Amino acid sequence: MKRIKILVVDDDSEILRFLTDFLQENEFETFSQNNGENVLEEIEKNEIDLLIIDLKLAGMNGLDISKKVAARYDIPIIMISGVNDDIEKIVGLESGLDDFIDKPFNPRLLLARIRSRLRRSNITQKDQNIDQEPLREVINSDLSFGDFFLNSKRCTLYRESEGFIELTNTEFRLLEYFVKHAGQIISRQDLSDELGLESSSYMMRSIDVLILRLRRKIELIPSKPKYLQTRRNRGYMFVIESENKNE
């Protein structure tokens, strides 16, 4: 069986050693680096499944490295940070990060976050090349709207007219939550709680950015959304039926 491969990047030798040992004890195959110089090469060479990276590396910015990784590889990225800066978190989430963990952290919480992100990415102990599977098994949706099909187990979105639509893990979680609560007005605070974000004006703005990104992927005219509608001063509503008036 394939062991899940995790790359840990941190310039603190004690944290790097601790995380490496802890993850190995939990049956992950672990790779480590004390700088971000060769992260892309390491991911490519070792077929990394998930990246854990420190925000502040010696002479480098972990956020910049993460952006490059997110642009090139479809793997979950968890950032650990000793700086509790909401702006950094917003920028990271908008750039493709999947999660933030503040130092000092409970290793069991980190482990739970890792497993959650891996499940969302459908990374398991088996080969993940869905191209080799019959299309009907890949689609096999448990949620749908219009000609869109969501597969929660595989975290995929498929549209009959264009095939698979690429979503980040956070975008998929948001869309899945909306579809499951179609017809309900959902506040930004509820969405923030669902995504595990902090309640601040900066993080509320991050919700708005995610909504905009989703609309660009599922709406014919994003400025006049059919599905993901705004309910002024109350939040958002996902409309699957013919109720398509914007307020």
Q: Model's pTM, two decimal places?
A: 0.51
In this structure, the answer to whether residues 104 and 179 fall within a common structural domain is no
Q: Which residues span the domain enclosing 102?
A: 5-120
Is the backbone peptide bond immediately before 222 cis, with ω within 30 degrees of 0?
no
Tell how many helices (H) and how many strands (E) occur in the chain: 9, 14
CB 50 within 8 A of CB 66: no
The pLDDT, as a whole number, for residue 204 is 67
pLDDT of residue 96 exceeding 70, the answer is no
Closest CA to 159 of 227, 111, 107: 227
Report residue 180 as tokens: 């499951």
Report residue 136 as tokens: 């009907």
pLDDT band at 223 (very low <50, low <70, confident <90, very high): confident
In this structure, the answer to whether residues 204 and 166 fall within a common structural domain is yes
In this structure, the answer to whether residues 78 and 29 fall within a common structural domain is yes
If one compares 223 and 202, the residue with the highest pLDDT of the two is: 223
In a domain, 186, yes or no: yes
Tell me the percentage of the chain whose pLDDT exceeds 70: 75
Domain-ending residue, one of 81, 96, 120 = 120
Phi-psi region of 120 (alpha: psi -120 to 50; beta: other; left: phi over 0): alpha
In a domain, 196, yes or no: yes
In this structure, the answer to whether residues 115 and 10 fall within a common structural domain is yes
3 state SS of 83: coil
In this structure, the answer to whether residues 177 and 113 fall within a common structural domain is no
Q: What share of the chain is helix, strand, coil (3-state, %, to 5)?
A: 40, 20, 40
Pairing relationship of beta strands 60-61 and 56-57 according to DSSP bridges: antiparallel
pLDDT of residue 195 exceeding 70, the answer is yes
List all residues 6 or more positions away from 155 whose beta carbon is below 8 Å from its beta carbon.
120, 121, 122, 167, 169, 172
pLDDT of residue 130 exceeding 90, the answer is no
In a domain, 126, yes or no: no
Domain-ending residue, one of 100, 120, 140 = 120
pLDDT of residue 226 exceeding 90, the answer is yes
pLDDT band at 136 (very low <50, low <70, confident <90, very high): very low
Looking at mean pLDDT, say which of 91-105, 108-122, 153-167, 210-224 comes out highest.
210-224
pLDDT in tens, 152-185: 776 778 887 777 787 777 888 899 999 999 999 9
Can you tell me the mean pLDDT for 61-74?
84
In this structure, the answer to whether residues 110 and 217 fall within a common structural domain is no
CB 122 within 8 A of CB 238: no
In this structure, the answer to whether residues 114 and 139 fall within a common structural domain is no
In a domain, 243, yes or no: no
Give the CATH number, domain containing residue 228.
1.10.10.10
3 state SS of 229: strand
How many folded domains does the chain comprise?
2
In a domain, 17, yes or no: yes
CA 34 to chain centroid, in Å, comes to: 24
In this structure, the answer to whether residues 175 and 148 fall within a common structural domain is yes
CA distance 245 to 247: 6
pLDDT in tens, 16-61: 999 999 999 988 999 999 888 889 999 999 999 999 998 888 777 8
Domain-ending residue, one of 98, 120, 142 = 120
In this structure, the answer to whether residues 62 and 87 fall within a common structural domain is yes
In this structure, the answer to whether residues 10 and 55 fall within a common structural domain is yes
Give the CATH number, domain containing residue 80.
3.40.50.2300
pLDDT of residue 244 exceeding 50, the answer is no
